[in-house]
Structure 1
Amino acid sequence: MDVEKVFHMSGGVGKTSYAQNSSLQKNASDMVKHITLETMQQLYKEVNPKSLSIADLGCSSGPNSLSLIKDIVEAVQGSSHKMFRPSPEFRVFLNDLPTNDFNSVFKSLPDFYRDLKKDKNGRCPAVFISGCPGSFYGRLFPNNCLHFIYSSYSLHWLSKVPPGLYDEHGKSINKGGVYISELSPPSVSQAYWNQFQEDFSLFLKSRSEELVTGGRMVLITLGRIGQGHVDRGNSFFWEILSKCLAISVSQGEIEKEKLDSYDVHFYAASRNEVEDEVRREGSFKLERMEMLEIKKQVKGGDSYGTAVAMTVRAIQESMLCHHFGDGINLDTLFNNYAKMVDQEMANQQINPITFLLVLKKL
Structure 2
Amino acid sequence: MVFEVKQVLRMKEGTDETSYVKTSYIQRQVLSLTKSLKEKAIMEIYCKEQPTTLCIADLGCSSAEPNTLGVVSELIDAIEKARREIGNGHQEYQVYLNDLPWNDFNTIFRSLGSFEDNLKKQVGNNFGHCFVNGVPGSFYGRLFPTKHLHFVHSSYSLMWLSQVPEGIEDNRGNIYIASTSPQKVVKAYYDQFEKDFLMFLRSRSQEVVPRGVMVLTILGRKSFDRYSKESCLEWELLATALNDMVFEGFIEESKLHTFNIPQYTPSAEEISFIMEKEGSFNLNQVHISEIGWEANEHYNNNNINDPSSTFDHFDFVKCMRSVAEPLLVSHFGETIIEELFKRYMEIVKVSMEKEKNVFINVTVSLTRKG
Structure 1 and Structure 2 fold alike (TM over 0.5): yes
Q: 1:7 to 1:302 in 2, by over 3 A?
A: farther
Checking the alignment, whether the CA contact within 8 Å between 1:305 and 1:340 is kept in structure 2 is no
Quick one: which of 128, 132, 142 aligns to 2:131? 128
Q: Deviations over 1:276-323 (max 9, x none)?
A: 000110000010011101133243866222222111111111110010
Q: Distance in 1 between matches of 2:310 and 2:54?
A: 41
Q: Which amino acid aligns with 2:259?
A: Y
Separation in structure 1 between the aligned mates of residue 119 and residue 144 of structure 2, nearest angstrom = 27
Q: CA deviation at 1:119?
A: 5.4
Shift of 1:348: 1.6
**Alignment partner, residue 73 of structure 1:** 76
Say whether the 8 Å CA contact 1:178–1:238 is kept in structure 2.
Answer: yes
Residue in 2 aligned with 1:33? Answer: 35
- Unaligned 5+ segments in structure 2 are 300-308
Contact 2:77 2:122 in 1 (8 A): no
The correspondence of residues 202-213 of structure 1 with structure 2, limited to 5 A, is 202-213=199-210
CA distance in 1, matches of 2:181, 2:329: 25
Q: Which residue of 2 aligns with 1:274?
A: 271
Instruction: Judge which range, 318-327 or 123-132, deviates more.
Output: 123-132
Q: Counterparts of 1:123 and 1:303 in 2: how far apart (Å)?
A: 44
Q: Secondary structure at the match of 2:22?
A: coil
Deviation string for 1:148-204 (max 9, x for gaps)?
Answer: 000010000000000121xxxxxx210000011111110000100110110000000
The Cα of 1:120 is off from its aligned counterpart by 5.6
Is 2:121 aligned against 1:118?
yes
Question: What is the alpha-carbon distance in structure 1 between the residues aligned to residue 132 and residue 200 of structure 2?
Answer: 23
Whichever residue aligns with residue 190 of structure 1, its letter is: K
Q: Structure 1 residue 117: deviation in Å?
A: 2.1
Who is 1:101 aligned against?
104
Hey, what does 2:295 align to over in structure 1?
297
Q: Provide TM-score, normalisation by structure 2.
A: 0.93
Matching residue's letter, 2:348: V
**1:352 to 2:359 alignment:** yes
Of 164, 167, 179, which residue of structure 2 is paired with 1:164? 167
1:252 pairs, out of 222, 229, 249, with 249
The answer on 1:178 being equivalent to 2:175 is yes
The one of 322, 327, 333 aligned to 2:330: 322
Note the alpha carbon deviations across 1:206-256, whole angstroms, 9 max, x for none.
001000000000001111123212222120111001001112223322111
Amino acid at match of 2:61: C
In 2, the alpha carbon distance for the partners of 1:340 and 1:352 equals 18
Relative distance call for 1:279 and 1:121 in structure 2 (3 A) is closer
How far does residue 15 in structure 1 lie from its aligned partner after superposition? 1.0
Q: What is the one-letter code of the residue matched to 1:229?
A: R
**TM-score w.r.t. length of structure 1:** 0.95
Contact persistence 2:80–2:123 (CA under 8 A): no
Contact 1:138-1:206 at 8 Å conserved across structures: yes
Q: Secondary structure at the match of 1:268?
A: coil
- Contact 1:179 / 1:264 at 8 angstroms: preserved in 2? yes
For 1:104, the aligned partner's letter is T
Shift of 1:326: 3.3
Find the residue that maps to 1:36 and give its secondary structure: helix
* 1:307 matched to 2:305: no
Residue 348 to residue 204, structure 1, CA distance change in 2 (3 Å) = same
- Following superposition, the deviation at residue 26 of structure 1 comes to 0.5
How far 1:35 moved relative to its partner? Answer: 0.8
Structure 2 CA distance for partners of 1:121 and 1:151, relative to 1, 3 Å: closer
Partner of 2:5: 3
CA gap 1:193/1:121 in 2 versus in 1, 3 angstroms:
closer
Q: Between Structure 1 and Structure 2, how many residues are aligned?
A: 355
What runs of 5+ residues in structure 1 fail to find an aligned partner?
Answer: 166-171
Counterpart of 1:336 in structure 2 is 343
SS in 1 for 2:21: coil
Instruction: Please tell me the residue identity of whatever aligns with 2:46.
Output: Y
Q: Report the identity percentage.
A: 36
Aligned partner of 2:234 among 209, 230, 237: 237
Q: CA deviation at 1:44?
A: 0.4
